[in-house]
Amino acid sequence: MSSYRIALNFEDGVTRFVDCGANEKVLDAAFRNRINLPMDCSDGVCGTCKCRAESGTYDLGDDYIEDALTEDEATQGLVLTCQMVPSSDCVISVPLPSTACKTGMARFSGTVAAVAPFGDAAYELALDVPEDAPAFLPGQYVNIGVPGSGQHRSYSFSSVPGAHRMTFLIKHVPGGLMSSWLQGAASGQVLEMTGPLGSFYLRSVTRPLLLLAGGTGLAPFLSMLEELARQGMAQPVHMIYGVTRDQDLVLVERLEEYARRVPGFTFTTCVADAATAHERQGYVTQHMPAQALHGGNVDVYLCGPPPMVEAVQKYFKSEGITPASFQYEKFTPNLVAA
Residue 335 binned pLDDT confidence (cut-offs 50, 70, 90): very low
Q: CATH number for the domain including 67? A: 3.10.20.30
Residue type for 67, please?
A: D
Report yes or no on 321 lying in a domain. Answer: yes
Q: Under a CB-based contact definition with an 8 Å cutoff, are residues 137 and 201 in contact? A: yes
Calpha distance 68→97 (Å, rounded): 22
The pLDDT value recorded for residue 336 is 43
CA of residue 188 relative to chain centroid, distance: 27
pLDDT in tens, 131-144: 888 888 899 999 99
Mark which of 173, 197, 221 sits at the end of a domain.
Answer: 197
Number of domains in the chain: 3
Report, as an integer, the average pLDDT of 307-319.
92
Report, as an integer, the average pLDDT of 206-224.
96
In which domain, by residue range, is 165 found? 106-197
Q: Under a CB-based contact definition with an 8 Å cutoff, are residues 277 and 246 in contact? A: yes
Q: Which of 80, 78, 91 is nearest to 18 (CA)?
A: 91
* Mean pLDDT of the residues in the chain: 91
Q: Under a CB-based contact definition with an 8 Å cutoff, are residues 179 and 169 in contact? A: no
3-state helix, strand, coil in the chain (%, to 5): 20, 35, 45
Q: Are residues 67 and 149 in the same domain?
A: no
Q: Are residues 91 and 158 in the same domain?
A: no
Q: Are residues 89 and 121 in the same domain?
A: no
Whether the per-residue pLDDT at 219 is higher than 90: the answer is yes
Report yes or no on 336 lying in a domain. Answer: no
Q: CATH number for the domain including 180? A: 2.40.30.10
The pLDDT value recorded for residue 337 is 42
The pLDDT value recorded for residue 39 is 86
- Angle, nearest 10°, between helix axes 219-231 and 252-261? 20
Mark which of 197, 227, 262 sits at the end of a domain.
Answer: 197
Q: Under a CB-based contact definition with an 8 Å cutoff, are residues 207 and 180 in contact? A: no
The pLDDT value recorded for residue 338 is 39
Q: Are residues 112 and 221 in the same domain?
A: no
Report yes or no on 202 lying in a domain. Answer: no
Whether the per-residue pLDDT at 272 is higher than 50: the answer is yes
Calpha distance 287→257 (Å, rounded): 22
pLDDT in tens, 15-47: 999 999 989 999 999 999 889 998 887 888 888
Q: Are residues 236 and 171 in the same domain?
A: no
Q: Which of 227, 203, 216, 225 is nearest to 300 (CA)?
A: 203
Mark which of 77, 101, 125 sits at the end of a domain.
Answer: 101
